[in-house]
Structure 1
Amino acid sequence: FATWALKQQNLTSQQQVGALHFTSFTLFSCITVNVYVKVFTNSPFLVCMDLARSREEVIDPTYLWIGPDGKNLEGQMYVNLTETGKLMVMGFKASMSGAYTCTLSHKIIETTTQEERVVFEAYKFMVYAYREADHAYHVFVRFTTRECELAANGQFFEELKKILNNIISDLTCHIIESSYKCHSIKRPKQGLLHELFVSFQVNPFAPGWEEVCHQVPYDCEDATNMRVQEARERIGEFFNKQTYALKHEFQTVPTIHYVDNSFSVTHIDSCRPGFGKNDITHKNCASCCVVCEPGTYSPNNEVTCQICTRPRVKKYGARSC
């Protein structure tokens, strides 16, 4: 994460001490930088110095870091503060989000007059906790059938769900929001056909998923997303095999059978309570679920933070107003 050059505005006052002259310059025009830290990890080092200043000689530098609560961060157990003014926030939580401001003080000594100028420069970082979005997949697939009123259609649909759930059960994933409809279709140069339009969601939160997550350090979303990705691939392979079986293993085509190349998948994201997506406010982390800011909340697994009608929430990561 880069720091940014600051505009400098000089306010001077002069005081003579012995043979030295001190002129104080206060520079508090700063550019805010957004920084995103995954929950339970350490932040990158925040540098109390812009790129231009880092390439210059800095005399007698001192650093003052102030956290979101307005308190000095020096000596706090959850920070790593180096002697060169770099700050790392460790084990980042949603409640640690907010403004981290550093004031750099250093001297500039005129070579001819030995006049010393004390310079203050301010750097501000808005640091936000984020999570990876929870992934799920919406699947759409079609099957031919003899007629829409066929009693076997419903039986076939129930059996299909059982098969798919068995394929992915060891991943603690399951099939939810499943449904089917039968439609009559007229294609060019063909008679009237009947097809079952089947849709379902591959979801990573089957019963027992929380116990599996207890085996994972810190946060579970990475493991959960890997499992549902594997489930999606297994289901895709299952339907690929249907095409092969129809062409090579069946002498008589079954009444209800898979329509070749009808398998399609849509990616679905959701965020944990207290987090949401905002590709305008957080365009540098558009795919992230970023902690809800004060005045907003997210009570469930929706994708966005909602605005409180009467903003009483003054904390980050609120789940209610």
Structure 2
Amino acid sequence: MRALVLLVVLFVSITGFLSVSTVHAASSAEIPTEGGTWTSSTITILIVPQLSAPWFKSSYTFDVNHAVSRWSQSITAYTDIYGSNYLRDLSFVTCVSGVNDTLCGSPDIQVRFIESFGSQSSGLGLTRYGVQNSVFQAPTITTLVAYDPSNTTQLSDIDMVNIASHEFGHALGLAHATASLTDDGTFELMFLSYGQAVGNPRNTLEAPSTLDLFALSYIYDWLATSSMLNGSGHPKTDLALPSGASYSSVYPYPEQLQMLQNSISQLKLEIIILAIVAALLLALVLVFAILLSRKKPAPPPPYSWGSVPSTPTV
């Protein structure tokens, strides 16, 4: 019986050791808007690569394009759950300077690259915009760096996608969210600082949160009635999620599927490990029980017949 209790205690301890603790953010997070909106449902983005610069990676051009595309995919996933389907009317057209820049004409947003901000700033990206009557004035200029402020660590492709996604959020009209993590423990894309170590090969892609996309639905609510805005946009506003809405990152569907597959694989691995450990513990208990059963009992003490009476004398 004691062996069985010991087995249960060890099993529970191992289960607790393998479980992963989750960090939660405050669901009272807010995000201010920049007080601007684009007046057309089609927003053009011109990417200006620095191909001749030794610090520039040619893959950065694809990274920026991928960042913009992921915003579109996150909008689709968000509207499937929360509505605001007019957000799907937003169309992002990306062009590359020297390749197909004529398709963008006079672009709304220009994305440029520099080696590093150096001592000028501790940031990894910067978006400058002009606003008049709560309407953005083209062009908005986004600058992305190739190296961290110390100019020693280069951004990986995942870093560049994340930073470009963050800056594109600014270009669309979002300011900085007040929380660094969502309630599901993922990074808040629009938080002030980058939550991952630059250049770390284990960094993961970040995605707009439900808070970011809710704010976007507020900025572009004019799309519900028209494909063009003829008046003014909303002024700067602090927004929080409505009651009942979950605060989480909204990943594109293909990434959600991949994350689910990874979780299932991890769960299978943990189950296999638990099964192996449980089998080993059970084997030890059985061996211990067998050894106990084979232990010979101590022989009984010799029987005492008592003293022999002496022969009476006559």
- TM, length-normalised to structure 2: 0.24
Which protein, 1 or 2, shows the higher relative CO under an 8 Å CA cutoff with sep ≥ 6?
Answer: 2
Structure with greater strand share of residues: 1
Higher Cα radius of gyration: 2
